Chain A
Amino acid sequence: MPKTETETPKMKPRPIVRLGIFLISHSLLVSVVCCTAGVLALLLLPLLAKNTYISENALMPGSASSMISNRDISEANRLASDLNGLNFKPQDSAAVESRRILTKYMSDLGAEVSYHKFHYKPNQFHPLHFFSSPDSTSSVKNLSCSAHGVNTVGIIRAPSGDGKEAIVLVTPYKFGKSGAAETLSLSIAYTVFSLLSRVTWLAKDIIWFVADSQYGEYAPVEAWLRDYHTPVFTGLGTLNADRCVKIDDPYVFEQKSIAQRKISDGFRRAGTMAAALILKVADRNAMLEDTLNIYAEASNGQMPNLDLINIVNYLAVHRQGLRVKVEKVLTLLDSRWLEILGQIFELLGKAARSLNPGWKFGISAADYIEGSATLASSLYYQALGIPTGPHGAFRDFQVDAITLEISPKVSPHNKARHNEFLLRGGRLVEGVIRSINNLLEKFHQSFFLYMLTSPSKFVSVGVYMIAFALLVAPLPLVAASLYADANQLDLGVKNTKSTPTATASDELDITFRSWKWLYAAKEVFLIHVWGAAVSLLPYFICQIPNCSPTSSSVIWVFLSMLSLLILYLIVGSPSTHVYISQSKEKGEWAILKSATISAVFIGLLVMSVVNFAAAEIGALLLVPMCLMAQPLKLDMKAGKLRSFLRIICNVVLGFIAFPPAAFFVVKTIFEGFNSINMGDFWNWMESLWAWNSATYIYIGMVHLPCWVLCLHILLHSC
């Protein structure tokens, strides 16, 4: 070997390359620092929350005085008493009659009224639904005629508008078997509706949609929205939909003869929807004042534009004096460690302020606890990917919508309070509609990606992304460093000079070294295919009749294990396959770990775009485990304190990161040990796939396979 060639002076790499190499070679330190910082940043989020502000100037909430008069309220009361009068009749006739009354009242106001029939079909798991775009929903087939409902839609045309835009007001109502609270929500909506039929400032059409909520509140809204957005060009579609309603036709005709005016059986449309409000009245609460609950989470963690929540919050608090609430995890409110943490942050904030009064850092411990309980709930509901109300259906059509649930402090039977409550609710809705009416474009000014820490505080995407980014940042670094170690690549930092030998066998070794990862990649790929198969299994388990959740979950677990076993038998343990002799002790499992970490990184990255909250929670579970994983056998051999600690950490993390285990641990913490039931996990997963949540795919195709791979590394025989 000529000496001149081996001793060529090494070129100094560019600074950015050197920085990369430095980070990779210190990956252990970097990953510890980054992970800790990531968790800390998550805990800091309630502190970093900003106050909400109205971002769109055109909205101008509360700038006009309310116009609701006593006449509207007395009309609404008349409607309510008419509806309540039907409560003694048998249910079917009461439903028909109440619909007739409602129609009559609406058309008396000069609104165009139409009926919308829909067929209820329960959500079913269909494996391909996850990948289809929202408009390609399956055709109407095999509908049972028994399960159908009739929604009532009233439309007021705007006197000064061009009919291209609309605002939707939704009130769920059980025709025929409604309670007092539901009737109250109807009267609030009627109050507003009757006002809006007279006003001159209206620029957008108003649609009042009374959803027939006998099959839940979501189904009728979703069915109506789908019909609203899919124009039917031939008569075929309506024919199909009407097939079952023929029996009901007499009552439709009867109504026609009675009301005779603008009632139509066809589908009526207004323009594109600017926003939608779902109005509900809850039964009386224990609080001392009227409260307003806001629900905003739609499917896959989508949120309506923050401005919509801002208007509602602003008007409710500053104009109507309602107490606005958003969901929070109640158990967190009296958790000890959170309180300690809050106090620490409070102290830190005080210390900072004493150093420099300009630093507005830190909030009180009580605020911190409140904020983190709200944030946790926000995170959880976004991560689930299941809409928290009928507003979720609107978001699928890019319409911003929220559910307002007003709960009065007294029973609705108290007459004097009753009218005042109607007035407040009506004014709130009127104000919100008036603001949206001012809007020139779609909501676009404010945030779509945020989490609430209180009704008037939010954490925007730019801030909460930091926590996630810090958590996943070590993944590529560790993958690169493991890969480099396993391939014995010289990164220029180690002083060990390998003496090149030129024998033919070594050449071959070098030749194949750069493709050694193919086996690890194959294994990772196979396990992911297995994960996909496991997430398809419920489709078949659902077909088994009369299967309790517990037995379903047992079958599921059993089949998954069986398929994993079969996979191993067919493909063979990959370690026997490697025909390149593995002389290096760290070779194979390190490459496998590197491939696993890459898969986790890609999976988390994609998931963070689809549903951030799910990715964040997944990263909290998965990242420490992936980074820690090391064959137990190696640690056993070493027999030091450090390796012993690592074994314990690995076992604990391996247990926690298993999805059912994580589910049950969280459930135990929040609900106590007694409430645990094997079937709960099945039910939870069932709700995920029934709502087409991407979280289900994440669990089946990213989380579970990566967990199996980590276990494989732990049990690796190296």
Chain B
Amino acid sequence: MEKKKKRGFWRWLIASVMLRLILIYLPKTFNLASRPEVSTPLVSLRRLAEGYWLKQSSISPYAGSMYHGSPLLLSLLGPLTVKRIEGQPNHLLCSLVFVIADIISALLIRATGHTLQMAYRQSLNSLDIVDILKSSDLLSSGDIAALVYLWNPFTIAACVGLSTSPVENLVVILALHGACKGLVPLAAFGWVMATHLSLYPAILIIPVILLLGYGPDTPPRKLFLQKGYGKNGDSHSSDNCGQQETNQSKAEVTFSWRPVIHFLFWSSLWSTYVLVLCSISVKPHGSLWEMFQRTYGFILTMEDMSPNIGVLWYFFAEVFDFFRSFFMIVFHLNILFMILPLAIRLKHRPCFLAFIYIAISSMLKSYPSVGDSALYLGLLGLFLDELADMKFSFFLLCGYIGVSLLSPVMHNLWIWRGTGNANFYYATGMAYACLQIILVVESVSAVLNHDRKLRKISVTKPRDGNS
């Protein structure tokens, strides 16, 4: 059974790679690379190629507001954009890099899922309520999450559509994986790189620290305490094993500072390293300051208001100039406002917290693309047990399908046919944002309900056992 499942996973993985290769080799009629849903100013490979060309001709790659990515990515992917193989599609090498990035991400998600599931089972074991997890005998959440990530049309579109978001997703997943496994240098590297590439993952520092401090997701800590007291109350008759468990569960509650200090140390080390590399890379033509201005500044000030699937472009195209900076601050604080309450409420589930942060930031970021949704939808699969009775799941699926079909049609109506206008396209962007809000709200409430259910069971269980 186990073997069969494993073979099934690999078969699906290979099939997804084949599908990507087929799509890469198809003639360029899909034009995914020029779709606003797939390639934003930040992740477009076309812009990266332009930046590389500028750099080759001894001009700053940031000249002319074409390229806004990292200089490291430029020196990594840049040479690949100019290499052409005779008879093969353009940008074949870059596409292959993205396919490999997707596969590695999927494998990391899978490993993370296994770790999470093992840890969760262990903690439930210590609470004596394992039997509610029958579902996980049938489904391994890691496998499912990895397959969801690989087969998500959004992921495929981002991978085939020549956007650099597979690489950005990879480093985010790397950070989470490292934090889950307790590999401090890896987690620090992932976090630093993710922050360097797309800025928004900076808020992941909270879940990563919680992960390193408390370990992977567990039921609420109060339960362990209650359990511990309950056990202590009538544990005279029970055997040694129970005693050990109690100790163990008690030990889990404490926050261990050592890995956190390590993490901070490592991340400062990595960030210095990255900054040094960047300064070397941009030195001949510009300065680090210019890099910050053209990457982070570009993200934060929303300079490019070309349409995308987010909600900010239209707003800032319409708003009066003297209100611009005010609303800019409001919109960005919006993300920051939600960090603390969520962190307090969900501190026992740092991985889930990271998922929520990613979902929120991909909704409110200035240049969202489908690659961002691909990331959080892939992570959604990791919490299979917790989200088992999520509401509105069917509605959400229909909504996602409907919006992703309507959005290109509305764009066509506006740009090509001229019978629609920007409001049509923006409406789909708003619908998409609403769907993401519903997804976040429902998944959080499902997890809280799950916690409540656990508490109920763990309260009733001992009585049943006694009677």
Contacts and interface: CB of A to CB of B under 8 A. Distances in A.
Contacts of A610: 409
B76 to A, nearest CB: 30
B26 interface: yes
A614 to B, nearest CB: 13
Interface stretch (B254-262, B342-350, B387-395): B387-395
Nearest to A447: B419
A1 B26 CA distance: 61
B406 A606 contact: yes
Contacts of A132: 29-31
Interface in B125-182: 131-132, 134-135
Contacts of B401: 602
Contact of B419 (A5, A448, A517): A448
Contacts of A510: 389
Nearest to B411: A133
Nearest to A694: B409
Interface string A294-338: 000000001000000000000000000000000000000000000
Given A128-B26, A504-B131, A511-B135, A133 B391 contact: no
A136 B29 contact: yes
Nearest to A130: B29
Contacts of B413: 609
Contacts of B74: none
Contacts of A508: 134-135
Given A128-B29, A132-B29, A511-B388, A398 B418 contact: yes
A665 interface: no
B455 to A, nearest CB: 11
Query: Contact size class for A?
Result: 35 or more
Say whether chain A's binding surface is mostly helix, strand, loop, or mixed: helix
A513 interface: yes
B79 interface: no
B322 interface: no
A483 B409 contact: no
Contacts, number: 74
A129 B29 contact: yes
B410 A512 contact: no
B412 A602 contact: no
A504 B464 CA distance: 13
Nearest to A398: B418
Given A511-B135, A514-B393, A602-B401, A398 B29 contact: no
Contacts of A513: 389
Contacts of B412: 133
Nearest to B393: A514
B419 A515 contact: no
A521 B397 contact: yes
Nearest to B464: A502
A359 to B, nearest CB: 34
Contact of B390 (A1, A128, A514, A594): A514
B207 to A, nearest CB: 26
Nearest to A443: B418
Contacts of B406: 605-606, 609
Contacts of B58: none
Contacts of B29: 128-129, 131-132, 136, 138
B336 interface: no
Interface in A477-535: 483, 502, 504, 507-508, 510-515, 517, 521
Nearest to B398: A598
Contacts of A462: none
Interface centre among B26, B417, B460 (most CB of A within 10 A): B417
Q: Which 3 residue pairs across A and B have the least CB separation, nearest first?
A: A128-B29, A448-B419, A511-B388
19 contacts: A128-B26, A128-B27, A128-B30, A133-B412, A133-B416, A398-B416, A398-B417, A398-B418, A448-B419, A511-B135, A511-B389, A512-B135, A513-B389, A517-B394, A521-B394, A595-B394, A601-B398, A602-B405, A606-B409
Interface of B: 26-31, 131-132, 134-135, 388-391, 393-394, 397-398, 401-402, 405-406, 409-410, 412-413, 416-419, 456, 460
